[in-house]
C-alpha cells in the first residue's frame, strides 16, 4: 500500500509564492525600466535635404555612416551578427551579409525598438542558395536594442549579439530612422 503523496505544508507554499512574486516583480521591473516602448511614437522623417541618400556599414570598424551627396551626416558604432566575419551563407550562421542592398521597409513596431529592413538576400543570392539547396536567411535589419532591454544602452557594443543584423542603441535608432527612407541604398563592407 502506498503512503500519502508529498505534502506541501505552509513553508512549501510560501517558498513557491515567493518565487512567483519575484518573477512577477522582475518582469514588471523590466517593463518599467523600458516604459518608453509603451509610448513609442514613430519618428517623422526629416526634410529631404537632411535625409541620407546612402548608408555605409563597415563590419571591421563596427561602424554605420549616414551619407548625403558624399557628405557624412552621422556615424554610429554598431554590433553585428554573433559570427560576423565573412559573407552570410545560410540562415542561422550569425553572419551579417556583405554587398549592396536597399532599405525595403520601415518597421515602427519592431521587437527591437524600431527597425529598417535590409533587402537581403538579393534575387541572385536567393537563386544561388536555392541551387545549393540551402536557405539564405533573411530578416536582416538595422535595429535598436530588443524591447525590454533599452537599459543596456551603449553596453550592447561590447559583444556582437544579433543574428546577422546591425544593432545600435534605441536613441541612435530613432535618429537613423528619422533620416532614412524606403529605397535608400545600403552598402555593407567586410
Where do the domains of the chain lie?
A: 10-39, 48-189
Fold for the domain defined by 48-189: L,D-transpeptidase catalytic domain-like (2.40.440)
Phi, psi of 35 (to 5 degrees): -60, -20
DSSP-based helix, strand, coil % in the chain, nearest 5: 30, 25, 45
Cell of 159: 559583444
Q: Looking at residue 29, what is its pLDDT?
A: 60
Q: Looking at residue 4, what is its pLDDT?
A: 55
- Predicted model pTM: 0.80
Q: Looking at residue 39, what is its pLDDT?
A: 65
Q: Looking at residue 65, what is its pLDDT?
A: 98
**What DSSP designation does 2 have?**
-
The parts of the chain modelled with pLDDT lower than 70 are 1-13, 24-39
Helices (H), the chain: 10-33, 123-131, 170-179
Q: Looking at residue 168, what is its pLDDT?
A: 97
At 122 the three-state DSSP class reads coil
d(CA 21, CA 13) in angstroms, rounded, equals 12
Amino acid at each position: 500500500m502506498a503512503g500519502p503523496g508529498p505534502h506541501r505544508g505552509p513553508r512549501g507554499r510560501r517558498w513557491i509564492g515567493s518565487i512567483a512574486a519575484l518573477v512577477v516583480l522582475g518582469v514588471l521591473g523590466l517593463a518599467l525600466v523600458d516604459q518608453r516602448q509603451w509610448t513609442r511614437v514613430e519618428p517623422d522623417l526629416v526634410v529631404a535635404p537632411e535625409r541620407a541618400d546612402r548608408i555605409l556599414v563597415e563590419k571591421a570598424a563596427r561602424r554605420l555612416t549616414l551619407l548625403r551627396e558624399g557628405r557624412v551626416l552621422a556615424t554610429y558604432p554598431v554590433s553585428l551578427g554573433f559570427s560576423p566575419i565573412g559573407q552570410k551563407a545560410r540562415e542561422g550562421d550569425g553572419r551579417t551579409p556583405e554587398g549592396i542592398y536597399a532599405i525595403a521597409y520601415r518597421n515602427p513596431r519592431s521587437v527591437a525598438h524600431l527597425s529598417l529592413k535590409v533587402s537581403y538576400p538579393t534575387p541572385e543570392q536567393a537563386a544561388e542558395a536555392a541551387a545549393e539547396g540551402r536557405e539564405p536567411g533573411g530578416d536582416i535589419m538595422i535595429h535598436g536594442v530588443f524591447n525590454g532591454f533599452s537599459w543596456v544602452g551603449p553596453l550592447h557594443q561590447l559583444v556582437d549579439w544579433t543574428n546577422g543584423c546591425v544593432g545600435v542603441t534605441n536613441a541612435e535608432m530613432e535618429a537613423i530612422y528619422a533620416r532614412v527612407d524606403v529605397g535608400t541604398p545600403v552598402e555593407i563592407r567586410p
